[in-house]
Amino acid sequence: MTALTRRGRVRQVWNYAKYVIVLALVVLAVYQVTGDKSELTEAGDALHQLHWEWILLGVAAEAVSYLAFAQLQRTLLRAGRAYVGLGPMAAITLAANSITNSLPAGSAIAPVYSFRQFRRRGADQAVAAWSVVATFVATAVTLSVLAVVGVAVAGAEGATLDLVPVITVVFLLTVAISAVFVQERALTWAVTAMFHLSQRLTGWPRGELAAHISRIIKRLTVVRLSPREMVTALGLGLANWTFDCTCLGVSFLAVGAAVPWKGLLLAYGAGQLAANLPITPGGLGVVEGSITIAIVAFGGAAPATVVAVLLYRVISFWLILPTGWSAIALLAWTGRRHPWTMPAGAAKPGSPVAGTEAATGCADSDDSPGAAVDR
């Protein structure tokens, strides 16, 4: 059996396993929250007693969350002397999010989409690639920090859910990744080790391997954040998650239930970590099940928790999808009218990264307007 055949079979098994995992989580969630039929009746009643002022506040909190994420990306691009307005960046953010949440391979497609949109707006190839990676690092670190705070708030009760070891490992891993990312020597060592491992596994030619290592290191070290820029980026990343979690908390008030403060952050952190597993687009089914189970385990009222979590997902997931796809259409339309806002590889006048591609040999095969675009 060839390696290609084995990989194909593993992929096929995983495709079936994803649905089994989701089904198991849904069944477990239903089992946790439905002790008797009266609870389902209570949940149905809660849907008819929604407080719309809280729903509007939840929508506003979610909007601020997306604006914080858009501003995070603007901050990182600005560190590389690439300038994108808040409006276009908000559209790119919504578009990339909808790609992630609605396509089977969305989590792989969305970064490429964002990269090409950044290129359209004047970022050279190296800065665009760096900002995509830096965004991932900033959001991963701040999510793990929020989850650790949730563990601290939950106290001893959190240990009963067996989430503490997992969150601790994730936190240490993200801190290590961020430390490697901001230290050029450590980054060079990590990239070199990764490619040497790939060379052993795939038989990659050594000359081609060295060229790839050099190109990737140049791209990932093209921008160095100042301490102020680093703090700003982490603050915006934390604001993104905090306002999204606020939307979850407000959803409890919208259904007339008390906010389960003690377990809210821990449940939210666990749910968002689960959402990043490549099981379903946007963690569909996984987030709802994991958050519901965790909050009920902390004593949250089962019927109210079900409705509140579903309301949160309607606002943060389902409401965003059509908005994001509308943004994709708008960006495609404006892209046809104005293929490039600046010449390919250009930056602001006086930019130290202007002409980086020429200096580093990072030529972009997507420089032609027709090949540029389709988060």
Residue 353 confidence (pLDDT): 39
pLDDT at 162 over 70: no
Q: What's the whole-model pTM score?
A: 0.72
Beta carbons within 8 Å of 2's beta carbon, 6+ residues apart: none
pLDDT at 132 over 90: yes
Better-predicted residue by pLDDT, 300 or 271 = 271
Q: How many residues does the chain have?
A: 375
- How far apart are alpha carbons 251 and 62 in whole angstroms? 11
Residue 357 confidence (pLDDT): 39
Residue 237 confidence (pLDDT): 96
Buried b (16+ CB within 10 A) or exposed e, 157-191: ebeebebbeebeebbeebeebbebbeeeeebbebb
Contact 365, 345 (CB under 8 A): no
Better-predicted residue by pLDDT, 153 or 354 = 153
- How far apart are alpha carbons 226 and 221 in whole angstroms? 13
CB neighbourhood size of 288 (10 A): 22
Q: Quick one: 340 exposed, middle or buried, by C-beta within 10 A (0-12, 13-18, 19+)?
A: middle
Q: Quick one: 317 exposed, middle or buried, by C-beta within 10 A (0-12, 13-18, 19+)?
A: buried
pLDDT at 119 over 90: yes
Contact 189, 159 (CB under 8 A): no
Sign of the Cα pseudo-torsion (208, 211, 217, 223, in order):
negative
Better-predicted residue by pLDDT, 242 or 365 = 242
Distances (CA, A) of 205 to 138, 199, 208, 215, 337: 34, 7, 5, 16, 43
Contact 74, 90 (CB under 8 A): no
Distances (CA, A) of 93 to 66, 70, 236, 325, 367: 7, 6, 14, 11, 22
Most confident of 2-16, 33-47, 114-128: 114-128
Beta carbons within 8 Å of 95's beta carbon, 6+ residues apart: 113, 117, 324, 325, 327, 328, 331, 375
Tokens of 98: 């909808």
DSSP codes of every residue in 294-326? HHHHTT--HHHHHHHHHHHHIIIIITHHHHHHH
Q: Quick one: 201 exposed, middle or buried, by C-beta within 10 A (0-12, 13-18, 19+)?
A: exposed
Better-predicted residue by pLDDT, 365 or 276 = 276
- How far apart are alpha carbons 164 and 173 in whole angstroms? 14
Most confident of 7-16, 93-102, 353-362: 93-102
How is residue 36 annotated by DSSP?
S
- How far apart are alpha carbons 112 and 375 in whole angstroms? 8
How is residue 344 annotated by DSSP?
T
Q: What are phi and psi of 129, to 5 degrees?
A: -65, -45
Q: What are phi and psi of 40, to 5 degrees?
A: -65, -40
Average pLDDT of the chain, as a whole number: 74
